């Protein structure tokens, strides 16, 4: 902070925010580590990489981790670096929506906002649905003998996992409304919790781990799904939903990359909390970039430790699917590959204890995802970009948090998961993860493309890739296009594409029927005097509440 006091830095942040057109309504108190922590917690190597470990194994065997993780990392680091540059130019909540509006125009901003918002709804849904399943498998099932998780509370509509998800999200909502200081503290705890779990797994599996029994070569791309929706036959994966289609094994390997790429989502969170971050220009940029870079290293160490000590997989990927308690969750069973590996190497007690620790890490991830998504929804509503904006953009005077937007995120995300469950039952987690990955990366790709093709924003950035900026940007755009094609394939029960097609069609109707003519883009809340008065109103309200 160049010798400046904390108050001086905050005043400069507020001045920067005024220049972007907004008053300091939210509470600016997060430090640089807290900003990094929220994105690191949402990436959560103990969530995406764990939940979709079965999926990666089924499509590509050990290659999903050993080759797929570093391959995806190279491209995602480029994407994060390109986004960091732009984040340092425009330090405001809403992030990508505002960037696109300033770099191009309000129409680009509107589409970016909706892609980002749909991705946010889906990622909140995916994280919490997965977390609920893991909490049930490692904690609740132990207390209810497995009855609760499979019980249909409302037949065909709501089961035990959705109930646990609802309770978990309600807790996350209350914590988020209670204030950014509490969320920031919990995010910091989350960072060390993730690192501690990884360290424990790596050390214990390294010291006590058993010999690999999977029968798979280390770098061999060998799909394992021989009993589910498709089969491996002479190097071709046969797809059995709809018309008969054969996929070469190398393409099956690319499908497996959903495991890594969904893990690497949500790191735009550091930009979404910029209005609550001290030294926002620099801290938000580093938060985006470092959250990916640190996750890349820690995640790979964790996954390699597991992958080198894999048990016999016949129970998870059997020839017949007659016992849901043993076969892989990829087939909608209860067997989770990571839990099986931990128990195989460390025994039932320690293995399940660590698995319960992973479940808690997933809950931290859900907490952070609600926080970031709520800020994105608030920022878009602040500019009247969607229905019910007047209600959604209200900020709690007591807690200085976008309470109504947080409620909106939680309710819609849960209902979206219910819809995915009704349509796809056991494939719900694949549906929501694919949808979140595609829509979030569509928004990432748009702003990076605009960053490459426009120049006005360059004079505003304080975090720069220098002469590598455009090269890294084009690599990023290339990967966004590739993964959007890959993850749109209706593979292995992944029927996410109807959701995406329906969403885009509805957006087209909404855009041409209302938004194109009426949406005005980012709106200034007035001059310095007007914005200062808004800030004083919040200060007076705080004093009144403190004296009450």
What pLDDT, in 10s, does the model give residues 453-506? 999 999 999 999 999 999 999 999 999 999 888 877 766 455 567 777 888 899
Indicate if the pLDDT at residue 264 is higher than 90.
yes
Q: Helices (H) and strands (E) in the chain — how many of each?
A: 25, 5
pLDDT given for residue 417 in this prediction:
84
What's phi and psi for 120, nearest 5 deg?
A: -65, -45
Of the listed ranges 349-358, 485-494, 507-516, 529-538, the least confidently predicted one is 485-494
- pLDDT single digits (tens) 407-427: 999 999 998 888 877 765 555
**Cβ–Cβ < 8 Å for 287, 36:** yes
Half-sphere exposure of 330 (CA within 13 A, CB side): 29
pLDDT at 244: 40
pTM recorded for the entire structure: 0.90
What is the gyration radius of the CA atoms in the chain, in angstroms?
Answer: 23
Task: Report d(CA 435, CA 443) in Å as an integer.
Answer: 12
Q: How many CB atoms lie within 10 A of CB 46?
A: 29
Q: What proportion of the chain, given as a percentage, has pLDDT over 70?
A: 87
Residue 238 β-bridge partners: 231, 246
The distance of Cα 104 from the centroid of its chain, to the nearest Å, equals 26
Lookup: tokens for 424: 């796809």
> Is the CB of residue 395 less than 8 Å from the CB of residue 402?
yes
Q: DSSP 3-state assignment of 152?
A: strand
pLDDT for position 150 = 52
Q: Is the Cβ–Cβ distance between 267 and 45 less than 8 Å?
A: no
pLDDT for 432 equals 72
Q: Which residue has the higher pLDDT, 218 or 103?
A: 103
Q: What is the average per-residue pLDDT within 207-212?
A: 90
Opening angle at CA 202, ends 201 and 203, nearest 5: 95
In the predicted model, is pLDDT for residue 240 greater than 50?
no
Burial string for 316-329 (b: 16+ CB within 10 Å, else e) reads bbbeeeeeeeebbb
Q: 173 or 416, which is more confident?
A: 173
Count of other CB atoms within 10 angstroms of residue 251: 16
For the chain, the average pLDDT equals 86
Rounded Cα distance between 298 and 15, Å, is 37
Q: Over 90: is that where the pLDDT of 540 sits?
A: no
Phi, psi at residue 111, to the nearest 5°? -65, -40
Q: Give the mean pLDDT of 241-263.
A: 71
Residue 49 CB-half CA count within 13 A: 33
pLDDT bin (cut points 50, 70, 90) of residue 184 is very high
36, 10, 95, 29: which is closest to 444 by C-alpha? 95
Q: Please, are residues 42 and 369 in contact by the beta-carbon 8 Å criterion?
A: yes
Q: Is the dihedral of CA 392, 126, 489, 486 positive or negative?
A: positive
Which residue in 197, 179, 172, 229 sits closest to 34, CA to CA? 179
> Which residues make beta-bridge pairs with 247?
237
Cβ atoms of residues 158 and 471 within 8 Å: no
Distances (CA, A) of 89 to 20, 173, 216, 361, 462: 10, 30, 48, 32, 7
Q: What domains lie within the chain, and their CATH numbers?
A: 24-215+257-524 (1.20.1740.10)
Q: How far apart are CA 188 and CA 199, in angstroms?
A: 17
Output DSSP code: residue 30.
B
Q: Does the pLDDT at position 1 exceed 70? A: no
* pLDDT 10s digits, 116-126: 999 999 889 88
pLDDT band at residue 226 using 50, 70 and 90 as cut-offs: low
- Percent of the chain predicted with pLDDT > 90: 55
| Residue 174 clears pLDDT 50, i.e. is over it | yes
Model confidence at 312, in pLDDT bands (50, 70, 90)?
Answer: confident
Residue 390 pLDDT > 80: yes
Q: What angle do CA 333, 339, 343 make, to 5 degrees?
A: 125
Is a pLDDT exceeding 50 seen at residue 232? no
Model confidence at 237: pLDDT above 60:
no
CA angle at 219 for the pair 213 and 221, rounded to the nearest 5°: 90
pLDDT at 255: 83
């Amino acid at each position: 902070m160049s010798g400046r006091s904390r108050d001086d830095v905050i005043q400069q942040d507020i001045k920067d925010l005024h220049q972007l057109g907004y008053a300091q309504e939210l509470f600016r108190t997060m430090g640089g580590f807290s900003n990094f922590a929220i994105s690191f917690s949402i990436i959560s190597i103990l969530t995406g990489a764990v939940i979709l470990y079965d999926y990666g194994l089924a499509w590509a065997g050990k290659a999903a981790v050993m080759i797929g993780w570093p391959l995806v990392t190279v491209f995602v680091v480029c994407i994060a670096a390109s986004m960091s540059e732009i984040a340092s130019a425009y330090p405001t909540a809403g992030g990508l929506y505002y960037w696109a509006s300033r770099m191009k125009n309000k129409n680009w901003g509107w589409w970016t906002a909706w892609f980002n918002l749909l991705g946010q709804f889906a990622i909140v849904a995916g994280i919490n649905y997965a977390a609920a399943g893991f909490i049930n498998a490692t904690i609740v099932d132990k207390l209810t003998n497995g009855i609760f998780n499979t019980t249909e509370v409302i037949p065909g509509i709501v089961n035990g996992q959705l109930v646990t998800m609802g309770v978990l999200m309600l807790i996350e909502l209350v914590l988020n409304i209670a204030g950014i200081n509490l969320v920031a503290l919990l995010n910091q705890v989350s960072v060390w919790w993730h690192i501690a779990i990884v360290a424990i797994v790596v050390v214990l599996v390294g010291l006590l781990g058993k010999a690999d029994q999977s029968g798979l070569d280390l770098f061999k791309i060998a799909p394992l799904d021989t009993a589910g929706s498709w089969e491996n036959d002479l190097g071709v994966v046969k797809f059995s939903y709809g018309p008969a289609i054969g996929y070469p094994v190398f393409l099956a390997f690319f499908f497996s990359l959903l495991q890594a790429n969904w893990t690497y989502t949500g790191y735009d969170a550091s930009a979404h909390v910029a209005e609550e971050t001290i030294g926002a220009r620099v801290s938000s940029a580093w938060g985006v970039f470092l959250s990916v870079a640190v996750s890349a290293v820690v995640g790979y160490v964790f996954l390699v430790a597991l992958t080198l000590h894999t048990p016999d997989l016949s129970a998870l990927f059997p020839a017949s699917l007659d016992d849901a308690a043993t076969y892989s969750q990829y087939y909608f069973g209860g067997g989770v590959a990571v839990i099986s590996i931990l128990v195989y190497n460390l025994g039932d007690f320690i293995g399940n204890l660590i698995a319960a620790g992973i479940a808690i890490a997933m809950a931290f991830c859900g907490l952070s995802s609600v926080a970031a998504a709520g800020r994105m929804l608030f920022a878009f509503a602040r500019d009247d970009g969607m229905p019910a904006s007047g209600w959604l953009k209200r900020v709690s005077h007591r807690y200085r948090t976008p309470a109504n937007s947080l409620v909106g995120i939680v309710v819609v995300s849960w209902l979206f998961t219910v819809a995915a469950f009704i349509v796809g039952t056991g494939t719900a987690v694949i549906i929501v993860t694919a949808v979140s990955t595609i829509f979030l990366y569509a928004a990432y790709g748009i702003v990076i493309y605009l960053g490459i093709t426009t120049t006005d924003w360059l004079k505003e950035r304080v975090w720069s890739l220098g002469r590598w900026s455009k090269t890294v940007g084009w690599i990023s755009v290339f990967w966004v296009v590739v993964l959007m094609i890959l993850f749109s394939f209706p593979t292995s029960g992944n029927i996410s594409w109807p959701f995406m097609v329906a969403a885009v069609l509805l957006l087209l109707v909404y855009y041409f029927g209302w938004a194109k003519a009426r949406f005005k883009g980012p709106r200034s809340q007035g001059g310095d005097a007007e914005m200062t008065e808004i800030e004083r109103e919040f200060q007076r309200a705080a004093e009144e509440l403190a004296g009450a």
